[in-house]
Structure 1
């Protein structure tokens, strides 16, 4: 089982859709056993699975908005469904494992991937499984395994903050107006809507901004005003005086600058996009 898991994870690391397609049937079968799911998580599988899902979701979004009717490398809907199914299956280990919760929380990749799939909505079956995974993340607790003493608690509240930062509230509001035939989808949308709304009300404007910064999913909004930054200037220092938020902002600005340089070579109009004005 260890050799098979190692091979599956190595295929997930690859960017080739062909090799991933070969690994999916084996991974799906592997997810049927609790022991195998824990072995998959310990091998870094959650990170690489989330990365593949996010890549596939972006390709679907690009295919929907592109004028080219035949995109070069679209992820198939069936492949997205099977990958999402595997990640959803892994969420059933959240309650009993602090390590698996930590793997899901790392870099916010899993939440970002599932949120993008819900937003793009390639097919109802993909949305259904993505919503089920998000719901399990939102309601998980640390009661059965709190993790090592002195480490931050990771539970549903942490994942809800990530969901808010990724813009899931907007996607859920949209889904509430759709007519779904599957009662499970309706139930998951309702639960997520209530939990997200409650969690958002409990957050200060600074906490909302901080979540956006830490997740890397910044969206231009009412928070980004001169008055807001004057009011919260001291918060930039951080509780430990390490200016961590400022350092993250600096890193994000560096990434954006690099992307702008590359994008300008192909399309100068990209510089006029307000969506890139993060701060």
Structure 2
């Protein structure tokens, strides 16, 4: 398995060296935990029922009154303690007991004790892995997050990883996400651990991970930290050689949107790094060009950048995109600008351009004309003014263009814009309406 070490980006990068000590992911405190810990749990109930032995209940009590490292320093005590925790987790009991056990397991895995993960392995399997997997599938959000982090950590840090168990965990996570995409914040931290290894990345790709995460981003419901973790997972998967799923899932437009709208440095860094990795696929480079990503890259290069890795990635993107951009037709340039949602006056907004390209609007049932209509309600007055101009020119040069503009509602919207407070928008709207209404516009000119 390929291991990851930290680098100057602030997030892990692939490396061939052996992994150093990796602590278990941090999970927010259980809602059952107070400032003094959990409410007192009566371990005698478990002892009297025969669920736990007297030595197991004794070690559980000892861990409550002594530092955890004190319990774990003795090989016999540490083994008994972990066995007691796993056994308790398998008992049908209250949420509070389950939260307590998961919290203590997380604490054990975070202790600075050499080989602490080995306490959870027996016969080449993680102790209680099936029980932990049931917790991942539960309806209790905190239990899902805690158990998925525990399993992902144990399955990726062992020197003899259990590949079938890792595959089962990944399959479970993506099944959950397919049925309930809103549960992603519960399992995304575990995914960030899983994809640091080659086996985990490949399995995530095979399970449709790129498309699944893309659907979440497309929903626009992700908060800043979750967005960062999602893009981080995509970045890790972008190190694999087969990048077809990124193309099929239309991930590049999502990354472009994030790069355009995000104001958080760490999200920008990992997004740029992901796009840079994706340039190993020529079809994805062409897709970046069609989205006018080069413009955003140039803007970022012109702003102060202190991170040398970010500058390197941006320079690589710029070089490849410039080469790809030279192969684009003027119509490709127009489409990419339109899809970016930001229009600027230039060669693709002229009479000559529309005389030569109006027929191209027929593609995909006039998809581009529909996008152009949507830009009439843009937040940018310049974009609205240019959209009015383009609609007017399309009406002039495309046979039946006037009727199409009217049918799609473009004429009515442009007429409303004549009264715009922005002088340029009002002027372009008036001229556009005239072009839509008048058959022989050149005589009016």
Normalising by structure 1, what TM-score? 0.65
Distance 1:201 1:2, change over 3 A: same
Which whole-Å deviations, capped at 9, do the CAs of 1:68-94 have from their partners, x for residues lacking one? xxxxxxx3322221111100001101x
Matches of 2:370 and 2:192, distance apart in 1: 39
Q: Structure 1: which 5+ runs fail to align?
A: 60-74, 141-154, 237-242, 261-267
Equivalent residue for 1:194?
319
**What is residue 202 of structure 2 aligned with on the other side?**
38
Residues 220, 177 of structure 1: CA spacing in aligned structure 2 closer, same or farther, 3 A cutoff? closer
Which residue of the partner structure matches residue 365 of structure 2? 247
Distance (whole Å) between structure 2 residues aligned to residue 7 and residue 256 of structure 1: 43
C-alpha contact (below 8 Å) 1:54/1:114 kept by paired residues: no
The Cα offsets for residues 205-259 of structure 1, whole Å up to 9 and x where unpaired, read as 133345678xx556545425553243235667xxxxxx7x243627x739977x9
Counterpart check, 1:77 vs 2:202: no
Displacement of 1:188 in angstroms is 0.8
Q: Work out whether residues 214 and 249 of structure 2, in 8 Å CA contact, stay in contact via their aligned partners in 1.
A: no
Matches within 5 A, 1:72-151: 75-93=222-240, 95=241, 97=242, 101-106=243-248, 108=250, 110-138=251-279, 140=280
Partner of 2:57: none
Change (3 A) 1:107 1:15: closer
Contact 1:24 1:82 in 2 (8 A): yes
Aligned to 2:174: 9
Distance 1:206 1:166, change over 3 A: closer
Q: RCO higher in 1 or 2 (8 Å CA, sep ≥ 6)?
A: 1
* Closer, same or farther: CA 269–44 of 1 in aligned 2, 3 Å: closer
Aligned-partner SS, 2:255: helix
Q: How many Å apart are 1:122 and its aligned residue?
A: 2.7
Q: Deviations over 1:47-80 (max 9, x none)?
A: 1212323444xx6xxxxxxxxxxxxxxx332222
Task: Give the distance between the partners of 1:107 and 1:226, measured in 2 at CA.
Answer: 37
Question: Gaps spanning 5+ residues in structure 2: where?
Answer: 1-165, 392-445
Query: Contact 1:135–1:188 (CA<8 Å) still a contact in 2?
Result: yes
Does structure 2 retain, via aligned residues, the 8 Å contact 1:169–1:196?
yes
In structure 1, C-alpha distance between the alignment counterparts of 2:337 and 2:298, rounded to whole Å: 19
**Secondary structure, counterpart of 1:188 in structure 2:** helix
**1:178 correspondence with 2:315:** no
Determine if the alignment matches structure 1 residue 168 to structure 2 residue 293.
yes
Max Rg structure: 2
Which of these residues, 191, 207, 217, is aligned with residue 53 of structure 1? 217
Mapped to 2, the partners of 1:165 and 1:123 lie a distance apart of 25
Q: Would the aligned equivalents of 1:8 and 1:26 in 2 still touch at CA under 8 Å?
A: no
Q: CA deviation at 1:11?
A: 4.3
Rounded to whole Å, the distance in 1 between the matches of 2:171 and 2:258 is 26
Distance in 2 of aligned mates of 1:103 and 1:255: 29
Q: Post-superposition shift, 1:24? A: 0.8
Q: 1:36: how far off?
A: 2.5
* 1:76–1:39 CA distance, 2 compared to 1 (3 A): same
Q: Aligned-pair RMSD on alpha carbons?
A: 3.4
Taking the aligned partners of 1:234 and 1:78, their CA distance within structure 2 comes to: 45
- The Cα shift of 1:202 comes to 2.5
**Partners in 1 of 2:249 and 2:214 — Cα distance?**
11
CA separation of 1:254 and 1:183: change in aligned 2, threshold 3 A: closer
Structure with the largest fraction of helix: 1
Residue correspondences, number:
219
Q: TM-score, normalised by structure 2?
A: 0.43
Task: Check if 1:274 corresponds to 2:384.
Answer: yes
